[in-house]
Structure 1
Amino acid sequence: MLSTDNYTYSILKYRHSQLLDEQLNVGILVYFPETNSFIFKHSSNLKRVKAIYNNVSDKVILHYLKQIDRKLKNLDTQSNLFNNYNVKEKFNEFIHKELIATDASVLQFSKVFNGIRYNETQENVIDFLLVSYFSEYTSPKIIHSTIVDSVSDRFINKLASRFDLEKLEKEKKLFKDYKIKNETGKSYIFDYAWQNGTLNLVKPIDFNLKTSRGIEDKAHKHLGLFIDLQNEAEEQNLRYDLLVSRPKERSFYKDYDHALKLLELPKRLKIIEEEGIDRYSKKAIKALS
């Protein structure tokens, strides 16, 4: 029998500038009515935020994150306080009255979203939401996957075996956490960038997901991103190099192949699958020598 339990969630955002409406995702709060439970996930590594905003105090942000975590852990779901809110119907009111008041800090929860899970565990739902909302700004470790790290590490470790990486960075041949802005001024971070006629921006994408819908949604999200950044690629002579990992489950290979076809559509983009990363690294080493 197909289970279609609902869930409700809100994205916790770091709001750097209220005037400019600059925001980055740093956490997510999910409420599962059928078990009357909350799950709160946030990044313990704020490297992405600090890479964009040099004057950010990670200690202040971590203080707020721990405060939210503590309030939720101490919450008695059987108490009158909890029941009076009817959280399923007034999730937004609960968040702003009990966790973070509106406009009270640099951290703010987004509007409330609703979802349906079809025979999926709560863990699968959380993994899907983290992949959907945090692939741009947070460490891949937050989504419990080592593959994204491994494809990126394989590339940079090959370079490190031949070069002094700090020297390459000083010579502006290699860049770490390279930032690029679109026409509206929104920033996106790429793990590395290296010079070879064009400036090649390196981004790992993990398609080793648990659902075909997750693979499809991730492909659509990145397709939109790279179409949006096409003008920047032309004007700044950039190329987007995607280091991608395939699903472990063979049943998802068709979805993976479709995802690659979609990502091949934008101009000035190169896809490097796992088996081609060593060759790609050798080309980079030759270019940087």
Structure 2
Amino acid sequence: MNKGTFTYALLQYHHSQLLGEVLNIGLVIYFPDFNRLEFIYPEKLIRLRFAYPDVPEKTIKSYHKYFAARTKELNQQPETFVNYSLQNSLQQFLDEEFLAPDSSALQFGNFRTAVLYTENLQHITNQLYNLYFSVFRHNENPLRKVDESSLLKKYKGFLEEFLPEHKTLKETQRLFIDYEIKPNDNSALKFDIAWKGKSDLHLVKPLSFDLLKPESIQRKAYQYFGQFEDLQGYASDNNFLFDVILAKPKSRGLFKAYDNAIRLLEKPTRVNLIEQAELKEYSKQTIQSTLF
């Protein structure tokens, strides 16, 4: 047969509209010669979590499930495709049938057309998956990495170790779980744990630099440096301290990049850095300050 074409569009997570930070987290493909739609996405979002620890993972996974179900539904009703010239304008179809365009973090973009080089649609789908989402698999090695959730779990474990018998974290009057601050009317930041010291409220933020590349460490350091720097006035006015629990990279080749990241994060005056080796003593300090 004559070679036809297929069109596809990437589902993207826009973490920061201002900075233009985008990660591909899904892909819709339409094969006009077969009147068939496909939706593919990475099953695990660990790469997204490493880049943006505050990412709304449950929400994204819910959208993944919805888009997969919607694709299956539309393939069972191919007459729906007749109302759209999908080979020419996949965007209008996605806007009306999948996700209306707005300023939210999830958006369809990078609409492309390619030659239908084989009738094996699964082969094309697999190749597109490997092209765009293989990076998610490459970062999936929890045995080698310390991420933010494991740092937080370790901190909570130490806290419970120093608690008096028969007392829980939620029962400590000066320690707060899921504490939220609102620097302005349009944004809110949540911290897993906050605790009241003698004069300051300590907002605890786990931050892992156990990454793969020096560029990733540098990018993450500048991201959080920018956030803490922007919040300095607000933190000073409200007697907030940002206590950042750190995880260093395991690879010695990344130690220099980590040291540079530390020097950068030390610059904001309302930031206190806690290395993993200091975490047990810091946990003891937390309990002593909140109970006595």
Name the TM-score, length of structure 1 as normaliser. 0.63
Contact 1:174–1:193 (CA under 8 A) maintained in structure 2 = yes
Alpha-carbon distance, 1:210 to partner: 2.0
Match status 1:234 vs 2:247: no
Cα contact 2:146–2:210 (8 A) shared by 1: no
Instruction: State the distance in 2 between where 1:218 and 1:199 align.
Output: 25
What residue number does 2:161 align with? 161
Tell me the SS of whatever aligns to 1:208.
Answer: coil
> 128, 131, 134: which one pairs with 1:123?
134
Q: Which residue of 1 aligns with 2:147?
A: 147
What residue is the counterpart of 1:109 in the other structure? 106
Residue 10 in structure 1 maps to residue 21 in structure 2: no
**Do the aligned residues in 1 keep the contact of 2:169 with 2:175 (CA within 8 Å)?**
yes
Contact 1:61 1:107 in 2 (8 A): no
Does the CA contact (< 8 Å) of 2:177 and 2:194 recur in 1?
yes
Q: Aligned with 2:217: secondary structure?
A: helix
Distance across 1 between alignment mates of 2:209 and 2:220? 8
Give the match for residue 29 of structure 1: 25
Q: 1:283 to 1:206 in 2, by over 3 A?
A: same
Cα shift at 1:167: 1.3
Tell me, in whole angstroms, the C-alpha distance in 2 between the residues paired with 1:49 and 1:212. Answer: 22
Are 1:240 and 1:268, in contact at CA under 8 Å, matched by a contact in 2?
A: yes
Structure 1 residues 279 and 228, CA, compared in 2 at 3 Å: closer, same or farther? same
Determine if contact 1:12/1:29 at 8 Å carries over to the other structure: no
Which residue type is aligned with residue 181 of structure 2?
A: I
1:237-287 deviation digits (Å, cap 9, x = unpaired): 010000111112222211111111111111110111111111211211222
Tell me: CA distance 1:284–1:231, structure 2 relative to 1, closer, same or farther (3 Å): same
Matched, 1:69 2:68: yes
Counterpart CA distance in 1 for 2:27 and 2:39 is 6
Q: Could you say if the C-alpha distance between residues 271 and 49 of structure 1 is closer, same or farther in structure 2, counting changes exceeding 3 Å? A: closer
In structure 2, relative to structure 1, the CA distance for the partners of 1:28 and 1:127 (3 Å cut) is farther
* Change over 3 Å in CA distance of 1:252–1:233 after alignment to 2: same
Equivalent residue pairs, number: 229
Alpha-carbon separation, structure 1, partners of 2:12 and 2:205 = 27
CA distance in 2, matches of 1:49, 1:248: 24
Partner of 1:96: 95
Mapped contact 2:204–2:243 kept (Cα < 8 A): yes
Work out the CA distance in 1 between the residues paired with 2:253 and 2:89.
40
| 1:183-223 deviation per Cα after TM superposition (whole angstroms, max 9, x unaligned) | 35311111100011210000111111222222121111111
**Letter of the structure 2 residue corresponding to residue 208 of structure 1:** D
2:183 and 2:60 map into 1 onto residues whose CA distance is 26
d(CA) in 1 for partners of 2:61 and 2:283? Answer: 36
Aligned-pair CA distance for 1:74:
7.9
**TM-superposed deviation, 1:174:** 0.6
1:251–1:122: structure 2 CA closer, same or farther, 3 Å change rule? farther
> Residue 3 of structure 2 corresponds to which residue in structure 1?
none
Match among 261, 264, 283 for residue 262 of structure 1: 264
Q: Which runs of 4+ in 1 moved over 4 A?
A: 40-43, 60-65, 72-76, 89-94, 125-128
Distance in 2 between residues matched to 1:212 and 1:178, nearest whole Å: 32
* Alpha-carbon separation, structure 2, partners of 1:70 and 1:40: 16
> Quick one: distance in 1 between partners of 2:24 and 2:71?
13
| 1:199-218 pair list within 5 angstroms | 199-218=201-220
In structure 1, what is the equivalent of residue 194 of structure 2? Answer: 193
* Partner secondary structure for residue 10 of structure 1: strand
* Aligned-residue RMSD, C-alpha: 4.4
Distance 1:74 1:213, change over 3 A: farther
Quote the Cα distance in structure 2 between the aligned partners of 1:32 and 1:147: 30
**TM-score normalised by L of structure 2:** 0.62
- Relative to structure 1, is the Cα distance of residues 220 and 49 closer, same or farther in structure 2, using a 3 angstrom cutoff? closer
Q: Percent identity at matched positions?
A: 26
Shift of 1:93: 4.4
Distance 2:191 2:61 in 1: 24
Q: How far did residue 41 of structure 1 move? A: 6.1
